[in-house]
Amino acid sequence: MKSSPQQENHLQERVLAIGPNPAPIPGFRNDLARAWTIFLFLLRRDIRLTYADTALGLFWVLAPPLAATAVLTLVFGLVLRIDSGPAPYPVLVLSGLCPWLFLNSSLSKGCESLRANADIIRKTYFPRLAVPASAALSGGLDFLVTIAALLAAGLIFGLSPAWSWLLLPIPALVALCLGLGGAIWLAALNMRLADVGKILPIVLQIGFYISPVVYPAAPALDKIGPIYALNPAVGIIETFRWSLYRPSAFPTIPLAVSTAWAALLLISGIIHFRRVEDTAADFL
């Protein structure tokens, strides 16, 4: 029996087309909205877990950098007598540790984030990018507290507040982007090859010594400037120090190199991660 044109039109209206998104931008916006919601949930969870069941709370944020500053000052400042320039050695060390500890934390947490959340990833679909992003940026609060401690240490050791202190957000933002981009890349690589997570602590340990954390960068920049400036941590650390006590000329080239590294890692990391995120459940 033939159906009438009215019945055919009614059936056509009830058909739901399932297929690839005809326009990638709306789909991306929906993914972005879902990722943002999951990102905020995971970020709050990670921050809560950091301070859960602790009586002293934020004290444990300050304890590692302050203890490290005391030990490094004793060894390198008093025993080896490394020249710290116009600032007291504890200020030089803390201004190096402040961004370095954030980068270390972002890369380490981001690298293991997918494997640490494997159960959720296998059971539930959501934009996976939220996982390494929340892990990498969960140390943002610690970063802000450490910056505040750095400014307080500067005042305690006799530095005068200056307009350049207002520029501290610039290297801090570059550090955030660099840590996030690196964490996204490491999470994608570690998802397929767990050796990445084993190698990373060794690389970070080497990076601590080839970055100007416990010594000023000026001597190295004078001798091997172009090569040394390729280290993305150099521009960030030196801009932190310049903003705090201006030991020399503004580190324009090192900061530009660090910014370029941050932008490259962040943009390419997001693009690569979106290509491989659908296979995350297969490898975890």
- Confidence (pLDDT) at 2: 53
Q: Residue written as tokens 């972002």?
A: 106
**Dist. CA 24–CA 206, nearest whole Å:** 42
**Dist. CA 211–CA 124, nearest whole Å:** 40
User: Which residues of the chain fall below pLDDT 70?
Assistant: 1-32, 52-53, 55, 57, 284
159-169 residue pLDDT tens: 989 999 999 99
User: Quick check: pTM over 0.75?
Assistant: yes
**Dist. CA 147–CA 150, nearest whole Å:** 5
Amino acid letter, 141 = L
**Dist. CA 1–CA 61, nearest whole Å:** 77
- Confidence (pLDDT) at 182: 97
- Confidence (pLDDT) at 70: 95
Amino acid letter, 43 = L
- Confidence (pLDDT) at 11: 43
- Confidence (pLDDT) at 18: 36
CB within 8 A of 39, min separation 6: which ones? 130, 133, 134
CB 178 within 8 A of CB 236: yes
CB 154 within 8 A of CB 215: no
Amino acid letter, 12 = Q
Per-residue DSSP letter, 76: I
* Vertex 72 angle, CA 70 and 73, to 5°: 65
**Dist. CA 236–CA 242, nearest whole Å:** 10
**Dist. CA 50–CA 139, nearest whole Å:** 9
- Confidence (pLDDT) at 32: 63
How far CA 133 is from CA of 121, 177, 220, in Å, comes to 15, 10, 33
